[in-house]
Structure 1
């Protein structure tokens, strides 16, 4: 782990990320538990912004909060286009989509087991 809180659990980081997304009015926040499914991360969080501007803003603020409050650097992809931004926070991968793009890619269906329940805001 990196940052000011090297012992922070992925669950604590997840709570911090979800709080940031909720503060910035992200919509349809979905958490997918990847433990045992993938070694890339413990959780994937998928949410939507209503416009390219909101998608960029949500991702910028999340990146800034993780850096300022937790000392955690993130990798960000796709911010320039604003349709789909990926934020790699280590144990957690966050996808921020415009609704149309999210519907097109349907990541939830790809990663969730049939009949599984997700935590949504």
Structure 2
């Protein structure tokens, strides 16, 4: 299988598919274009347990490396409470539900109307 050169949208699509395949819950996608230099998209999702959070992150990074040659930067996988995956164009946060509720990242990045729809 040949490795494709990804753009932000194809990376986002691969991230969303991987999260869906691994049964991530409450997936929220935030468009960062024109709002932040850190990336074009942010995705926030939940896993039911620390084990699932770590597994979702590990499988996502493996798929991105295999399919696109992306070497993602990963923080927090060992603890499994909040894992940050930086693909370059897409920033992914995978949380346990309690940790996600505590930090409420969506509220920092979504407009009030978008945040109400995400709840």
Q: Give the structure-1-normalised TM-score.
A: 0.90
Q: Could you list the runs of 4 or more consecutive aligned residues of structure 1 that deviate by over 3 angstroms after TM superposition?
A: 117-120
1:1-121 matches, within 5 Å, as 4-6=3-5, 8-116=6-114
Q: Which has the higher helix share?
A: 2
Alpha carbons of structure 1 residues 39 and 118: separation in structure 2 relative to 1, 3 Å: farther
- Asked if structure 2 preserves the Cα contact closer than 8 Å seen for 1:31 and 1:119, the reply is no
Q: Which runs of 5+ in 2 are unaligned?
A: none
- Asked if structure 1 preserves the Cα contact closer than 8 Å seen for 2:25 and 2:46, the reply is yes
Task: Give the number of aligned pairs.
Answer: 116
User: 2 CA distance for matches of 1:13 and 1:118?
Assistant: 26
**CA drift at 1:116:** 2.5
User: 2 CA distance for matches of 1:53 and 1:107?
Assistant: 21
Of the two structures, which has the highest relative contact order with CA contacts closer than 8 Å and spacing of 6 or more? Answer: 1
User: 2 CA distance for matches of 1:97 and 1:12?
Assistant: 23
Q: Give the structure-2-normalised TM-score.
A: 0.92
